[in-house]
Structure 1
Amino acid sequence: MQVISFPLFWTIVIDIGAWFFFHMAISVLCLKLPPGAFQNNAFWSRIYSWEKSGALWDQLFRVKSWKGRLIDGASLFKRGYQKKALHGTNREDIETFAMETERAELTHWLSILPAPLFFLWNPPLAGWLMIVYALAFNLPFIITQRYNRGRIKKMLS
């Protein structure tokens, strides 16, 4: 339900600024989480048997064909962990990579959550477009992280 009304120009400026703020704030928050926060095998990050060690995501969405074109958000932050390639081949490097895919996945799940707030200052159609944007922007990253982590977990077992 729209509570505040702005002229179209300012609504667009506020939408862009709000998304920028939410994406950056959530990214910084997730970057500050210690590695131990990702060792609990939470329901959202667990790789399930029906995912076929990540193969399901490639079967459904052909992840291998487009994942290389996604921007790695880690390049925006000094402490970010680049996930374009493994940083080494020993077990610790591979476990760190798997943990960082969990961090990235959490970041993108949390980045979807603010979308309903946009109904406060946008008309209903624009509010729904903000939800579509949040899903369209974040789901490819979530799918890619699940695909990569499924393959890594299979390697580690």
Structure 2
Amino acid sequence: MQMISLPLFWTIILDIIAWFFFHMIISVLCFKLPLASFQNNAFWSRIYRWEDSGNLWHRLFRVKSWKGRLIDGASLFKKGYQKKTLHGVNRSELKTFAEETKRAELTHWASILPAPLFFLWNPPLAGFLMIVYAVVFNLPFIITQRYNRGRIEKMLS
């Protein structure tokens, strides 16, 4: 329900600033989580049998053909973990990579959550468009992390 009414220009400016703020805050908070937080196999990060070790994502979306064009959020942080390529193939490096894909996936799931707040200052149609934006923008990153982690977990088993 729209509680704040602004001229269109200021609504658009507020939308841009708000999305930038939410993306940055969520990214920083997830980056600050210790890597040990991602050693578990939580329901949201578990690779399920139906995902066929990540191959499902390639069959449905041809992930290999576009994943290299996605921006790696680690480039925003000097100490971020780059996920464009494997850092090595020993067990320890593969586990670290898999944990970092969980961190990235959590970041993108959490980045969808603020979308309903945009109904506070946007008309209903624009509020729904903000939800669509949040899902469409973050889903390729989520799919890529699940695809990569499925392949890594297969290598580890």
CA contact (8 A) 1:115 1:131 kept: yes
Q: Displacement of 1:78 after TM fit?
A: 1.4
CA deviation digits over 1:38-73, x for unaligned, max 9?
Answer: 122100000000000000000011101110111111
The separation in 1 between residues aligned to 2:28 and 2:70, in whole angstroms, is 19
Are the equivalent residues in 2 in contact too, given 1:54–1:150 (CA < 8 A)? Answer: yes
Cα distance in 2 for partners of 1:44, 1:97 equals: 17
Q: Which residues in structure 2 correspond to 1:63-102 (within 5 Å)?
A: 63-102=63-102
The alignment's TM-score, normalised by the length of structure 2, stands at 0.99
Name the counterpart of 2:31.
Answer: 31
Runs of at least 4 residues off by over 3 Å = none
Query: Aligned residue for 2:62?
Result: 62
TM-score normalised by the chain length of structure 1: 0.99
Kindly report the root-mean-square deviation, in angstroms, between the aligned alpha carbons of the 2 structures. 0.6
| Alignment correspondent of 2:116 | 116
- How many pairs does the alignment contain? 157
Aligned-pair CA distance for 1:87: 1.0
Aligned-pair distance for 1:15?
0.3
Amino-acid identity (%): 82
Say whether the 8 Å CA contact 1:3–1:121 is kept in structure 2: yes
**Deviation (angstroms), 1:107:** 0.1
CA contact (8 A) 1:31 1:79 kept: no
Distance 1:119 1:89 in 2: 46
